[in-house]
Chains A and B, each alone.
Chain A
């Protein structure tokens, strides 16, 4: 078991943002989390990556309890987070963005005396090719398009070589072609890493949901199942997609 969550709860100003009884993820599993706005999806990821501290509950990652750890300690343990709003280093080049992210010793002195090796460069170039950024390596990251920033952030997270990737709405603001490419990328990543993806776009969910989809509603887990099961579940249709059910019928 890569990740195991028990009785996790957090409230913001009296609103129960998350109240999750149980959640678990196998090694190298890709899980899609869906749910209406305010269902607690991003809050869930915030807790997993140390941005938010839960009110109660336990999160075990590779047999380590990670509640109460700082974001740096959690990142060191091997959880990488891609945010909903792309969070890259806009003032640095795409290349430097990736160099900074890559797994290595990250204390002050190692950084001060870091020497670039050819092998390391190849690693960055290989990653750039994987996310389709090989032609913009010397551009400042701030000048990239929204979709490219999303990919850069995914590259940043993957280069940290985490066992668990938390990917928050990777396809937001992408064209259909880009979305499909992102899906392929995520499926490829899931061969080596555990991945949790939050997504709204049902076409995209259908493309990447190779095992289970978890549905969160009002901070609680409504159900877990394959994409087909979730899609046909009346409760999901009712509370998540509304009565009109427009989006599901299209798929």
Chain B
């Protein structure tokens, strides 16, 4: 037990050292390209969103299929700010797509995004408020299980279609792109990219610690209780609605943070990021990594995206088949995901060692007896 804990601590330390020291050092030594660094920076954003899914799905048992939508809300908020800055830098009054769509003045809901701080706050606030409203009605009507999945999925689709439209004044199919600077810093400078990588990694660590606190608190225990036996939670005088709402909003905020950090690193945000497939993929990261374990969500998000980059460059046609196969295997054989599999292997190994020690001791004892005789 103690051993397992210390080895898990060691793994965490190695993980942090690798991404905080080794990878950037590799870049400065010229081994790792800035693109790779930036790619990992984006994966960290996905991992932050995955943490939110794990809270909602893994711990509370609510299958929410619109996490990518919240991710995009955060992303669009930051994207709007970046686009306004880029437009101003070019000495124009309106972003190019608005000019093409015959919009003559900046729509009112674009106004607050001129400032960095308001944009930052809004990219947290907007997902939170939207999640609160959705969550309130869904949880109030006691929608559960597969119905929850269907409703959130339908919502994700509806929002996707809404964002696709030019009338929404958010860039339509093309989304928001052509960003130039963030706080006056050139987004394409390698130094800024590495900086954003560090910010994303720092946020991931911070999000992990915060989730750890949440999960370890009595609040976290109640979330698990809701997952296992929701009626009993009600009869124990907890207002299940409030708890579900709280965790749903917390997850949306995590997704918002993730989206906000993702956009300056990618340089584009389109409605494609929030389609149904994107949300389902996020669930898959968590399922493959290890549902109901925070580390599982992070490992899942990083691993699947890593694999995605590999596979799509090696055999682009095969990726979805590989992902599907992995998912089926996980569902059938490793319901605790990759993390569960790792632990199982470690446990088996430890048991083997313990066994061999025992046998050695036995044979030793036997030998002793024999010699006495």
- C-alpha gap A103/B168 in the complex (Å): 50
Contact A96 B228 (CB under 8 A): no
Partner of B229, one of A70, A89, A114: A89
* Residues of chain B within 8 A of A49, CB atoms compared: 235
Contact in complex: B236, A75 (CB < 8 Å) = yes
Name the residue in A81, A87, A111, A114 with the highest tally of chain B Cβ atoms < 10 Å from its Cβ. Answer: A111
Residue from the set A76, A100, A156 with the largest chain B CB neighbour count within 10 Å: A100
Residue contact A80 to B235, C-beta cutoff 8 Å: yes
Query: Would A81 and B235 count as touching, CB distance under 8 A?
Result: yes
CA distance in complex: A233, B44 (Å): 74
Chain B residues lying within 8 Å of A156, measured Cβ to Cβ, are: 232, 236
Cβ of B214 within 8 Å of any chain A Cβ, yes or no, is yes
Residue of A51, A72, A87 near B239 (CB, 8 A) is: A72
Q: Are B236 and A112 in contact, CB atoms less than 8 angstroms apart? A: no
Are B228 and A111 touching (Cβ within 8 A)?
Answer: no
Q: Do A72 and B228 touch across chains, with their CB atoms under 8 A apart? A: no
Q: Is the CB of A91 within 8 A of B228?
A: yes
A187 interface contact, C-beta 8 A: no
A-B interface, 10 closest residue pairs, ranked by CB to CB distance from nearest: A75-B237, A114-B218, A111-B219, A89-B225, A112-B219, A91-B228, A87-B232, A111-B218, A71-B234, A108-B246
Q: Residues of A contacting B243 with CB < 8 Å?
A: 108, 111
Contact in complex: B225, A87 (CB < 8 Å): no
Q: Is A122 an interface residue (CB 8 A)?
A: no
- A121 contacts the other chain (CB 8 A): no
7 further A-B contacts with Cβ under 8 Å, apart from A81-B235, A92-B228, are: A72-B238, A100-B233, A101-B236, A106-B238, A106-B239, A108-B219, A114-B217
Q: List the B side residues contacting A88 at CB < 8 Å.
A: 229, 232
Q: Evaluate contact between A111 and B217: CB separation under 8 angstroms.
A: yes
CB <8 Å contact, A92 and B221: yes
Chain A residues lying within 8 Å of B219, measured Cβ to Cβ, are 108, 111-112, 114
Are B217 and A92 in contact, CB atoms less than 8 angstroms apart?
no
A62: shortest Cβ distance to chain B, in Å?
16
Given A108-B246, A114-B218, CB of A89 within 8 Å of CB of B228: yes
Nearest-CB distance from B243 to chain A (Å)?
6
Q: List 30 A-B contacts (CB under 8 A).
A: A49-B235, A71-B235, A72-B238, A72-B239, A72-B240, A75-B236, A88-B232, A89-B225, A89-B229, A89-B232, A91-B224, A91-B227, A91-B228, A92-B225, A92-B228, A100-B218, A100-B222, A100-B225, A106-B236, A106-B237, A106-B238, A106-B239, A107-B239, A111-B218, A111-B219, A111-B222, A112-B214, A112-B217, A113-B217, A160-B237
Q: Number of A interface residues, CB 8 Å?
A: 28
Contacts of B222 in A (CB 8 A): 100, 111
Q: Does A90 contact B (CB under 8 A)?
A: yes
Render B237-266 as a binary contact track against A, CB cut-off 8 A, 1 for contact.
111101100100000000000000000000
- Note all chain B residues with C-beta closer than 8 A to A76: 237
- B231's partner among A87, A96, A101 (CB-CB below 8 A) is A87
Q: Which residue of B lies closest to A113 (CB)?
A: B217
B217 touches A90 (CB 8 A): no
B236 touching A99 by the CB < 8 A rule? no
The smallest beta-carbon distance between A204 and chain B, in angstroms, is 24
Question: Which A residues lie within 8 Å of B238 (CB)?
Answer: 72, 100, 106, 111
Instruction: Tell me the complex Cα distance, A70–B224, Å.
Output: 22
B217 and A72: CB pair below 8 A?
A: no
Cβ A100 vs Cβ B236 within 8 A: yes
Most buried by A among B229, B240, B242: B229
Contact across chains for B229 and A87 when beta carbons are under 8 A apart? yes
Selected contact of B236 from candidates A51, A90, A160, CB within 8 Å: A160
Alpha-carbon gap, A81 to B231, bound state (A): 11
For chain A residues 113-137, which have a beta carbon within 8 Å of chain B?
113-114
Please, which residue of chain A has its CB at the minimum distance from the CB of B213? A112
